[in-house]
Amino acid sequence: MSTTREHTWKLDELARQAGVSARTVRYYVQRGLLPAPVFRGRDTVYSTEHLLRLKAIRRLQERFLPLDAIQQELERCSSDELRRLAAAHEDLRPTASGQPPRRPADPLALPQTFMPAAAGGERWQRWVLAPGLELQLSEQADAATHRLAEELLEELNRRRTTGGFR
């Protein structure tokens, strides 16, 4: 049994930590983007998972994803993926010089969702590259097509990192 105690927050504390309003936290719980908080007597307690999810939501919103798509992303994320996504949000805070930090050139940092299988059982991966622009890749595509998609995502991330993409 672990003796490590998880950090908890009250609603206002959590909202402040995540950079959102308390109203937004309540709304996300109502929408199912966040799990319901634990009730302990008069106090409602929010956990580290709530904070990670809020940071992940902010990161996905930076990619112009609607809340329905964000909810799908969060549902498919493992705990490790959720932590990486939340950490990516932290990496985007301005540095001491006031300059935004460089983004890691990670093609999977782009929002990726899996589209439901069509009648033939084919599944598709979908990346939102920019508002109104997406890349879709069939899981049944050949290896050369998968490599091409990876190269496109890497180039897009390289351009974002160096400021060559607006």
Query: Looking at the structure, do residues 26 and 64 belong to the same domain, yes or no?
Result: yes
Residues 89 and 28 placed together within one structural domain of the fold: yes
pLDDT at position 34: 95
**Domain finish residue from 69, 86, 101:** 101
Structural domain that includes position 59: 1-101
What total of structural domains would you count in the chain? 2
Same domain, 76 and 145: no
* pLDDT of res. 108: 41
Residues 89 and 154 in one domain: no
Q: What is the pLDDT along the chain (166 residues), one digit of tens a residue?
A: 445 567 899 999 999 999 899 999 999 999 999 999 988 777 889 999 999 999 999 888 887 788 888 999 899 888 888 998 888 755 444 344 444 333 333 434 454 555 555 556 677 777 777 777 888 888 788 888 888 888 887 787 777 766 665 5
The rounded distance, in Å, linking the Cα atoms of 138 and 124 is 4
Q: Is 48 in the same domain as 70?
A: yes
**Amino acid occupying residue 141:** A
- Please tell me whether residues 87 and 114 are part of one structural domain: no
**Do 93 and 112 sit in the same domain of this protein?**
no
CATH code at 93?
1.10.1660.10
pTM above 0.75? no
Distance (Å, whole) CA 43 – CA 37: 10
Do 54 and 115 lie in a common domain? no
Question: Does 69 share its domain with 26?
Answer: yes
Q: How many residues in the chain?
A: 166
What is the structure's pLDDT at 94? 39
Contact between residue 62 and residue 113 where contact means Cβ atoms under 8 Å apart = no
Q: How far apart are the first and last CA of the chain?
A: 50
